Amino acid sequence: MSAQVLTFGALNGVGIGMIYFILSVGLTMIFGLMQFVNFAHGAFYMVSAYAAFAVAQWTGSVLPALLISPLLAAIFALVSERVLLQRTYNLPHESQILITFALAILAQESMTMIFGTLGKNVPVPEVFSGVVILGGFVYPSYRLFVVGVAAAVAVSMWVAIERTRFGAVVRAAAENPEMVGLLGFDSRKVFMAAFAFGGALAGLAGALAAPLRGVEPLMGREALAIAFVVVILGGLGSFSGALLAALLIGITQSLMSMIWPGGAHLMIYGVMTVILAFRPAGLMGRA
Amino acid sequence: MEDLRFPNWITLAMGVTLVAMPWILPSLTLASEILVLATGALSCTLLLGSVGLLSFGQGLYFGLGAYVSAILIRDFAVGAMAATLAASVAGCLVAALAGLLIVRRQGVYFVMLTLAFAQMGFFLALAFPKLTGGENGFGNVTRTTVAFEQLPLSNPLLLYGFLALLCFGAFAFVQRIIASPFGSVLNAIRHNDSRAEALGYDVRRFKLAAITIAGGIAALSGAMNTLLLSFVPLSAIDVESSERLLIASLIGGVGSPLGAFIGAAVLSAMSDFLSPIWPRWSTIVAVLLIVTVLFLRDGLLGLGRILRRRPKDALNG
Q: In 3D, which of B57, B86, B91 has the Cα closest to residue B73? A: B86
Q: Which residue of B has its CA nearest to A85?
A: B294
Please report the pLDDT score of residue B300 as a whole number: 65
> Under a CB-based contact definition with an 8 Å cutoff, are residues A211 and A122 in contact?
yes
Tell if the CB–CB gap between A99 and B287 is shorter than 8 Å.
Answer: no
Q: Which residues pair with A139 in a beta bridge?
A: A132
Tell if the CB–CB gap between B290 and A99 is shorter than 8 Å.
Answer: yes
Q: Residues B124-151: what's their mean pLDDT?
A: 85
Evaluate if residue B39 carries a pLDDT over 70.
Answer: yes
Q: B30 in contact with A at a CB cutoff of 8 Å?
A: no
Q: B115 in contact with A at a CB cutoff of 8 Å?
A: yes
Residues of chain B neighbouring A265 (CB-CB closer than 8 A): 123, 126
What is the rounded CA–CA span in Å between residue A53 and residue B87? Answer: 44
Evaluate if residue A132 carries a pLDDT over 50.
Answer: yes
Evaluate if residue B77 carries a pLDDT over 90.
Answer: no
What is the rounded CA–CA span in Å between residue B290 and residue B288? Answer: 5
Evaluate if residue B304 carries a pLDDT over 50.
Answer: no
Q: Residues A121-148: what's their mean pLDDT?
A: 84
Q: B239 in contact with A at a CB cutoff of 8 Å?
A: yes
User: Would you list the domain boundaries of chain B?
Assistant: 9-312
Q: Mean pLDDT in chain A?
A: 88
Domains for chain A: give ranges and CATH numbers. 3-278 (1.10.3470)
Q: Best interface-test mutation with B: which of A36, A84, A93, A117 has the largest number of B CBs within 10 A?
A: A93
Q: Give the predicted TM-score (pTM) of the model.
A: 0.91
Evaluate if residue B154 carries a pLDDT over 60.
Answer: yes
Tell if the CB–CB gap between B289 and A105 is shorter than 8 Å.
Answer: yes
Please report the pLDDT score of residue A287 as a whole number: 42
Please report the pLDDT score of residue B157 as a whole number: 92
Q: Best interface-test mutation with A: which of B47, B115, B237 has the largest number of A CBs within 10 A?
A: B115
Who has greater pLDDT, B305 or B217?
B217
Residues of chain B neighbouring A98 (CB-CB closer than 8 A): 250, 289, 293
Evaluate if residue A30 carries a pLDDT over 90.
Answer: no
- ipTM here: 0.90
Q: How many CB pairs under 8 A join A and B?
A: 138
Tell if the CB–CB gap between B101 and A191 is shorter than 8 Å.
Answer: no
Evaluate if residue B238 carries a pLDDT over 70.
Answer: yes
Residues of chain B neighbouring A99 (CB-CB closer than 8 A): 290, 293-294
Tell if the CB–CB gap between A89 and B315 is shorter than 8 Å.
Answer: yes
**Out of A176-180, B53-57, B191-195, least confident range:** A176-180
- The CA distance from B145 to the nearest CA of chain A, in Å, is 37
Please report the pLDDT score of residue A1 as a whole number: 60
What is the rounded CA–CA span in Å between residue B54 and residue B48? Answer: 5
Distance of CA B162 to the CA centre of its chain: 18
- Chain B, 48-77: which have a CB under 8 Å from a chain A CB? 48, 54, 56
Tell if the CB–CB gap between A109 and B280 is shorter than 8 Å.
Answer: yes
Q: A67 in contact with B at a CB cutoff of 8 Å?
A: no
What is the rounded CA–CA span in Å between residue B91 and residue B89? Answer: 5
What residue type is assigned to position A152 of the chain? A
If pLDDT is split at 50, 70 and 90, which confidence band does B272 have? very high
If pLDDT is split at 50, 70 and 90, which confidence band does B287 have? very high
Full DSSP string of chain B = -----SS-HHHHHHHHHHHHHHHHSS-HHHHHHHHHHHHHHHHHIIIIIII----S-HHHHHHHHHHHHHHHHHHH---HHHHHHHHHHHHHHHHHHHHHHHTTS-THHHHHHHHHHHHHHHHHHHH-HHHH-GGG-B------EETTTTEETTSHHHHHHHHHHHHHHHHHHHHHHHHSHHHHHHHHHHH-HHHHHHTT--HHHHHHHHHHHHHHHHHHHHHHHHHHHTSB-GGGGSHHHHHHHHHHHHHH-TTSHHHHHHHHHHHHHHHHHHTTT-TTTHHHHHHHHHHHHHT-SSHHHHHHHHHHSS---GGG-
Q: Which residue of A has its CA nearest to B109?
A: A232
Please report the pLDDT score of residue B314 as a whole number: 40
Terminal alpha carbon distance of chain A:
39
What is the rounded CA–CA span in Å between residue A212 and residue A49? Answer: 11
Evaluate if residue A36 carries a pLDDT over 90.
Answer: no
Which DSSP helix (H) or strand (E) runs through A139?
A: strand A137-140
Domain B9-312 listed as CATH 1.10.3470: yes
What is the rounded CA–CA span in Å between residue A50 and residue A169? Answer: 34
**Out of A23-37, B26-40, B68-82, least confident range:** A23-37
Q: For residue range B11-31, list pLDDT tens digits in order.
A: 999 999 999 999 999 899 999
Please tell me whether residue A120 adopts helix, strand or coil conformation.
strand
What is the rounded CA–CA span in Å between residue A267 and residue A256? Answer: 7
Q: Residues A157-176: what's their mean pLDDT?
A: 81
If pLDDT is split at 50, 70 and 90, which confidence band does B302 have? low
Q: Mean pLDDT in chain B?
A: 88
Please report the pLDDT score of residue A262 as a whole number: 85
- Chain A, 236-255: which have a CB under 8 Å from a chain B CB? 236
Q: In 3D, which of A89, A81, A104, A219 has the Cα closest to residue B285? A: A104
Distance of CA A275 to the CA centre of its chain: 21
Report which DSSP code applies to A280: T
Q: Which of A221, A232, A270 has its CB closest to that of B113? A: A232
Residue A173 CB coordination number (10 Å): 26
Q: For residue range B273-284, list pLDDT tens digits in order.
A: 999 999 899 999
The set of residues, in sequence order, having a beta carbon less than 8 Å from that of B144 and lying 6+ positions away, is B73, B79, B80, B152, B153
If pLDDT is split at 50, 70 and 90, which confidence band does B71 have? very high
The set of residues, in sequence order, having a beta carbon less than 8 Å from that of A9 and lying 6+ positions away, is A251, A254, A255, A257, A258
> Under a CB-based contact definition with an 8 Å cutoff, are residues B250 and B55 in contact?
no
> Under a CB-based contact definition with an 8 Å cutoff, are residues A51 and A61 in contact?
no
> Under a CB-based contact definition with an 8 Å cutoff, are residues B31 and B18 in contact?
no
Residues of chain A neighbouring B59 (CB-CB closer than 8 A): none
Q: For residue range B242-262, list pLDDT tens digits in order.
A: 999 999 999 888 888 999 999
Report which DSSP code applies to A133: E
Q: B124 in contact with A at a CB cutoff of 8 Å?
A: yes
If pLDDT is split at 50, 70 and 90, which confidence band does B303 have? very low
Q: Which residues pair with A137 in a beta bridge?
A: A134
Buried b / exposed e along B261-270 (16+ C-beta atoms within 10 A): bbbbbbbbeb
Tell if the CB–CB gap between A93 and B116 is shorter than 8 Å.
Answer: no
Q: B78 in contact with A at a CB cutoff of 8 Å?
A: no
Q: Which residues pair with A138 in a beta bridge?
A: A133
